[in-house]
Amino acid sequence: MTLFTTILAFVVALGLLITFHEFGHYLVARWSGVKVLRFSVGFGKPLFRRRLGTDQTEWVVAAIPLGGYVKMLDEREGKVSPHELPRAFNRQTVSRRFAIVAAGPIANFLLAILLYWLLFVLGVGGVKPVLGEIAPSTPAASAGFNEGQTITRIGDRSVTTWQDVRLALLAHAVDRTPDLDVETVAENGVIHQLKLDLSSLEADDFDADFLGKIGLSYYQPAFSSIIGQVMAGGAAERAGLQVGDEILAIDGQEVLYWQEVVGIIRASPGHLLNLEIMRNGQLIVDLPLTPEIALEDKIEIGKVGIAPKIEHEMLENLLVKISYPPVTALSKAAAKTWEMTYFTLRMLGKMVMGDVSLKNVSGPITIADYAGQSAQMGFVAYLGFLALISVSLGVLNLLPIPVLDGGHLMYYLIEMIRGKPLPEKVMEIGHQIGMLLLITLMIFALHNDLLRLIAR
């Protein structure tokens, strides 16, 4: 994955999500008769500026693509001509102001529905939840899971992919469900009803290796030990390994399958290994290879930068593609958006309560990384990423924090109850508190991002 791909995917994602969000504010403001002075995607120095429409609204693309805003005519921000007072935002009824502010997050949820609808029409690909080796002394081992079984149901929810499994287990794990019903089907067709105890999970266990903490792993086909890809700049390339090389032995230990190669390399960070390989029918012995040292969950492992030759028939048996007719896809998309919204709110609540570690908070670096990875995986994967981030942006903006849309909505609800706005002084203090909270959150998120980069 190139840096250019990551940056481009990140900028496109932010541009699309911010534009939709601000366009929600803009449309409802116009429908309400409010004059819009400026529509800006990004902050800072304008890179593009043009005035359009009867109101000569200024359309701006600015240099810092980490947000945007819609500036409306408002007496609190400048002098307003008497004939334009009815079009000032602050002169609108509280219900209209509420609708204008709420329209931004709602636009993000509508965008998520559209993106999920496209996904379900085009077809969502995934990997069947076939179990690999079950780690001993884990909840999965205690429940009686076995390698080769396929998970078909978790609680009252059917699952068809590993993504479904992860989301369903996370939803139950945050509640530390003690006896979660899980249905699996063995390779011989026998159905098993298992009880999975998630009560032993701790706040720090809800990370990227969440399934590993439970003891579950993906089934990996027994690929041969033939190299299918050599990463540029990696230890394997420096050692002279080539695509098509078949690894026969490492330090005199015979290997037949790719998993054996991976196991030895991972267990040998920084240690010299001597390989015996077959290249174009010729045997090469004592080829030296020293795996680079990498960190995985604070444990040193070896990496050399090679991938196996993919045997597509094996993979096709593990892949599934799900698609729906357009009308059905729309209802599925709405349900998926609600599910992800509810799940995001629950995870935020659990973080506040201390049930889930704040280490799971991600900042722009991690989001950019995920954007690049999903873009590399293809258009459909990128659509899924955009839908998820759109939901997250909608939820974030609805939080009752002053300076966010949710903070303004909170003020308007109080105004509806009191029959008059809060005093300016109170709102000013709230604004300062909100800014402090946001800056603290951003620093914390960037701190987490940097820790993830260092741990790679």
Q: Which tokens go with 119?
A: 């996904």
Question: Do the beta carbons of residue 133 and residue 209 sit within 8 Å?
Answer: no
Of 95, 92, 90, 64, nearest to 79 (Cα)?
A: 90
Beta bridge partners of residue 45, listed in sequence order:
none
CA 178, CA 305: separation in Å to the nearest integer? 40
Residue listed under structure tokens 């902050």: 43
Question: Do the beta carbons of residue 73 and residue 37 sit within 8 Å?
Answer: yes
The two beta strands, 180-185 and 150-154, are antiparallel
Amino acid at 122: L
**DSSP string covering 47-70:** EEEEEETTTTEEEEEEEEEEEEEE
- Known catalytic residues? 22
Of 104, 119, 127, 80, nearest to 19 (Cα)?
A: 104
CA 134, CA 309: separation in Å to the nearest integer? 25
Can you tell me whether residue 77 is helix, strand or coil? coil
**Residues 6 or more apart from 4 whose CB is under 8 A from it?**
none
Classify residue 185 as left (phi > 0), alpha (psi -120 to 50) or beta. beta
CA 94, CA 54: separation in Å to the nearest integer? 26
**Residues 6 or more apart from 238 whose CB is under 8 A from it?**
none
Question: How many Cα atoms occupy the beta-carbon half-sphere of 377 within 13 Å?
Answer: 15
